[in-house]
Amino acid sequence: MIGNMMRCANVTERELAEKQEAATEFGERLSWKYLCYVRAHLILWRVPTKILYSEHDNMTDWETVSAFAEGHCAELTVMPGGEHWFHTEEQMRFLDNWLKIQADRRD
């Protein structure tokens, strides 16, 4: 995801290393220290996980989220037509219904 954010912001690793931080037009701040930390501390995921992914997510590509889900036995649901940030009434309705389904499955 950080790599995708860097590509969207047109920031190379070299530039980020030199500047240490970079602001983006989409409101996130990129940090060289954080990128290095993430790379040095890979996730060991050991909890049941359910992921709601949006079909038109511009921050996390399908290959990344599907590889994560497969590698960590996570259940992956795709919201047709959705975006990374759920903000429309339709998207929020889909999210609410998905959350209710997940809660019902736990009971």
pLDDT 10s digits, 45-104: 888 899 999 999 988 889 999 999 998 889 999 999 998 888 899 999 999 999 999 998
Q: How many CA atoms lie within 13 A of 86 on its CB side?
A: 15
CA of 84: how far to CAs of 11, 41, 76, 89, in Å?
A: 20, 25, 15, 14
Query: Exposed (0-12), middle (13-18) or buried (19+): which is 16, by Cβ within 10 Å?
Result: buried
pLDDT (tens digit, 9 = 90+) per residue, 31-45? 999 999 999 998 788
- Tell me the pTM: 0.64
Judge whether 20 and 37 are in contact, CB under 8 Å: no
Tokens of 38: 């993430």
